[in-house]
Chain A
């Protein structure tokens, strides 16, 4: 079974600084998807960024970017120019590839990010 590990239960960052959240995963598959979700106090799950395993180029969404190391099974999230609104729980998630359908997400335990003004 696939597993996702987030080794940092809590992180903090100064406003306007950069922070990197770590994630490793375990799978025997070659095709899959990886995601970072944000969960603010409202508890709504918000997709931040996603990466297809077959793509070598790291995904970027505005201030959010990933460092995807397929061989190392590592998928870290970098948040640049941190803002107060970035404070939340961040979950790394894995999803198996299924061309004609869809599959469940497997989540890490999360990293709570605090942003200090």
Chain B
């Protein structure tokens, strides 16, 4: 299996631009999580999906952030408009239902907003 795939690996953009981060979970996994890692706040949950349905988006910082999962094999995290404080590493992770199943992380997308 290819593991969780994220694209792009690096993104540099200017303030005010729209940014779209992409994630392909492992086939057969029905849970997908988006986490953000910053120096100040560490690793924190943004949103997660079960069977393509958002379960908890309380970690999404503000309305500039949106996430979708149109099908079981694809999810996007969009920031519009982007701001310098959005600079971070964004991780996607997936897993199966079942309490003891491991979450598998993608390689992350490093976002820099100038």
Interface residue ranges, A against B (CB under 8 Å): 33, 42-45, 47, 50, 52, 91, 97-102, 104-110
Contact = CB atoms under 8 A, between A and B. Distances in A.
A47 B43 CA distance: 15
A42 B9 CA distance: 11
A101 B97 contact: yes
B31 A102 contact: yes
Contacts of B93: 45, 105
Interface in B42-62: 42-45, 48, 50, 56
Given A43-B108, A104-B45, A104-B48, A97 B33 contact: no
Contacts of A45: 91, 93, 105, 108
Given A44-B107, A45-B105, A104-B48, A91 B100 contact: no
Interface residues of B, number: 26
Given A52-B100, A97-B99, A98-B99, A104 B56 contact: yes
Interface of B: 31, 33, 35, 42-45, 48, 50, 56, 89, 91, 93, 95-103, 105, 107-108, 110
A109 B42 CA distance: 5
A104 B33 contact: yes
